[in-house]
Amino acid sequence: MLIRDQEIESGIHIDFVPMVDVLFNLLIFFLLATTIAQVEREMSIALPFASSAGPISTTLRELVINVDQKGGIFVDGRAMESQPLGDLIREAVKVNPEQKVSVRGDRGTAYSNVVHVLDICKNSGIQQPYIDTLLQE
C-alpha cells in the first residue's frame, strides 16, 4: 500500500526577485542623488573656524563659490576667472533678485583672495554674500 504525504499548499506565492530589483534601483537612485548634491561640499577646502557657524539655507538655489589655498576661484567644480564669475552672478541675479551666494575660502588663503570674490559679488548685485565657516569646538 502506497502512503502519500499530504502537503498543504497555499494559494499564495510571493516572488521576491522583483521586490529585490526595485529595492536595488531605489538604493542606486538615492546614492546617486546624494552624491551629486555633495560634489560642491566635498572640494578640498579647509574652512576657517567660527563660533557661530550654521547650516546653509537650501530654500533657494544657492551659488557656492570656492576659493582654494592658492587663490583659485571654483564654481560647480570648474575653475573660473573674475570676469566670467561676475557675468555668472549677474545672470543669476537677473533670474532671481534674492539670489544667495556663499563664499567658501580656504583658511590658508590670503584674505585678499576672499575679499576679491566678495567684491565681485557686490559689484554683480549680491547685497549680502555669505562666508562659510566651521564651528569651532
Give the H or E element holding residue 20: helix 16-37
Grid coordinates representing 45 are: 577646502
> Cβ distance 60 to 99 under 8 Å?
yes
**pLDDT confidence tier of residue 41, bands split at 50, 70 and 90:** low
Assigned CATH for 49-135: 3.30.420.270
Nearest residue to 66 (alpha-carbon basis) of 93, 38, 101 = 101
Position 43 scores a pLDDT of 65
Nearest residue to 120 (alpha-carbon basis) of 69, 81, 70, 77 = 81
Q: In this prediction, what percent of the chain has a pLDDT beyond 70?
A: 78
**pLDDT confidence tier of residue 24, bands split at 50, 70 and 90:** very high
**pLDDT confidence tier of residue 67, bands split at 50, 70 and 90:** very high
SS (H, E, C) 30-60: HHHHHHHHCCCCCCCCCCCEECCCCCCCCCC
C-alpha span between 25 and 9 (Å, rounded):
33
Q: Is the pLDDT of residue 69 over 50?
A: yes
C-alpha span between 136 and 52 (Å, rounded):
8
**pLDDT confidence tier of residue 61, bands split at 50, 70 and 90:** confident
Residue that wins the pLDDT comparison between 85 and 2? 85
